[in-house]
Amino acid sequence: MLMIGTGNKAVATAVRDAKPTVVAAYPITPQTEVVEETANYVASGELDARYIPVESEHSSMAACIGAAATGIRTFTATSSHGLVYMCEMLHMSAAARLPIVMANANRALGPGWNIGAEHSDSLSMRDTGWLQAYVSTVQEAYDLTLMAFRIAEDENVLLPVMINLDGFLLTHITQSFETVEPGDFIPEINTPHAIDIDNPGGYGTLTPSNEHFKFRRDIERGMRDSVKVIEDAQNDFAKRFGRKYGMYEEYMTGDADVLVISMGTLAKETEVAVDNLRKEGIKAGSVGIRWFRPFPDLKDVVEGREVVIIDRDYSFGYGGILANEVRSKTGCSPFSVIAGLGGQEVTYDDIAGFVKMRAANEEHWFGVDE
């Protein structure tokens, strides 16, 4: 079915189609529409789920953890300070191997208080054990949310998944998107370690030093194994529904001399910049990172090319997080651009300018005169 709606609406519609049993909800700008629309689906009977309005983001994740521990499908959504507030529970849910799906509307952290788009909220949670995907269109928000349930619940993964969409730039933009009938694309959930009320037992709450590291290593195994699960899910989605996705999206990279790497809506803006640069005789290409955890293998993509990386984030005392991830994984020496923090406007002309001013292994803060 063809629909018109915001990125938030697309996420809520995918949740409706994935049919979770429990949805825990707490509002926060610019995510609120996700839980409002999901509540409407529950109220209308289109989604048969227990909708739990809670008193905080910490509690929303705690509710999902309790529900998921019984072996049922769960969902929640948050943003920015809400995500930070539930940090403790993010570690808990991944360590407990609970396949929770959450949408995060990327928003700056304060102070100063700002509700514009920034990836610092989710990237500050990159070591919690959650898989992270970054979407760039309303259609992608629907499709990746739907796939997230299948990926999280796969027996080779059993880790929570966070779908990230840029606050306002995608959460509130209106585009057309096409829904699907998932059918058996998302199998019935089967959590092997779910609590069985017919056979009550207890969980140990303390792991000794000679056992704890084994649990941590197993999270890493699930994260690494998720690569194949993600690829299989995306290939099956393409076969069934005609829309193909990868760990990252390439645009005009075949003969490119310089690549621009980015995430979220910046990736789509970059494609326009690439078109314009090509008209000027500059062979540019775009690589939009879709899955940040697990991080994709980009070594063959960047080899022999100049690289410009745009970060809508920053790790103080270290640099752009995406730039350093790519540098570490590939050995390249990128031109690192920090741009778009707090919803700062970044146009395709600006991105073309970054390409023209590139200098290997340097950092540039867009809009800052030094």
Q: Residues 310-325: what's their mean pLDDT? A: 98
Provide the pLDDT for residue 35. 98
Provide the pLDDT for residue 201. 80
Q: In sequence order, what DSSP letters do the residues of 37-97 get, joined into one string?
A: HHHHHHHHTSS--EEEE-SSHHHHHHHHHHHHTTT--EEEEE-HHHHHHTHHHHHHHHHTT
Rounded to whole angstroms, how far apart are CA atoms 322 and 315? 10
Q: Residues 4-20: what's their mean pLDDT? A: 98
Fold of the domain spanning 2-183+207-241: Rossmann fold (3.40.50)
In this predicted structure, the answer to whether residue 52 has a pLDDT above a threshold of 90 is yes
pTM of the model: 0.97
Q: What's the pLDDT band for 203 if we cut at 50, 70, 90?
A: confident
Q: Residues 271-299: what's their mean pLDDT? A: 98
Alpha-carbon torsion 352, 354, 358, 361, what sign? Answer: negative
In this predicted structure, the answer to whether residue 171 has a pLDDT above a threshold of 80 is yes
Distances in Å between the Cα of 53 and the Cα atoms of 25, 43, 162, 185, 218 are 5, 13, 20, 29, 33
Instruction: Provide the β-strand partners of residue 78.
Output: 104
Considering the segment(s) 249-365 as one domain, its CATH architecture is: 3-Layer(aba) Sandwich (3.40)
Measured torsion, CA atoms of residues 54, 56, 58, 60, in degrees rounded to the nearest 10: 30
Q: Return the exposure string of 201-226: e unless at least 16 CB atoms fall within 10 Å of the residue's CB, then b.
A: eeeeeeeeeeeeeeeeeebeebbebb
Residues contacting 348, CB < 8 A, separation 6+: 269, 270, 272, 273, 276
Q: Where are the alpha helices (DSSP H) in the chain?
A: 7-18, 32-44, 57-68, 80-85, 87-95, 120-123, 138-153, 209-241, 265-279, 299-302, 321-330, 348-356
pLDDT > 90: percent of the chain: 96
Provide the pLDDT for residue 109. 97
In this predicted structure, the answer to whether residue 205 has a pLDDT above a threshold of 80 is no
Q: What's the pLDDT band for 219 if we cut at 50, 70, 90?
A: very high
Q: What's the pLDDT band for 370 if we cut at 50, 70, 90?
A: low
Rounded to whole angstroms, how far apart are CA atoms 242 and 236? 9
CA angle at 134 for the pair 357 and 237, rounded to the nearest 5°: 125
Rounded to whole angstroms, how far apart are CA atoms 217 and 223? 10
Q: What's the pLDDT band for 200 if we cut at 50, 70, 90?
A: confident
Please write the tens of the pLDDT for every residue from 110-167.
998 999 999 999 999 999 999 999 999 999 999 999 999 999 999 999 999 999 999 9
According to CATH, where is 3.40.50.920 located in the chain?
Answer: 249-365
Structural Rg of the chain based on CA atoms: 20
Provide the pLDDT for residue 20. 98
Q: Is 232 left (phi over 0), alpha (psi -120 to 50) or beta?
A: alpha
Rounded to whole angstroms, how far apart are CA atoms 16 and 40? 10
Q: What's the pLDDT band for 289 if we cut at 50, 70, 90?
A: very high
Rounded to whole angstroms, how far apart are CA atoms 341 and 337? 11
Measured torsion, CA atoms of residues 264, 269, 275, 276, in degrees rounded to the nearest 10: -150
Structure tokens, 44: 């209308």
According to CATH, where is 3.40.50.970 located in the chain?
Answer: 2-183+207-241
One-letter amino acid of 196: D
DSSP state of 315: B
Structure tokens, 137: 């269109």
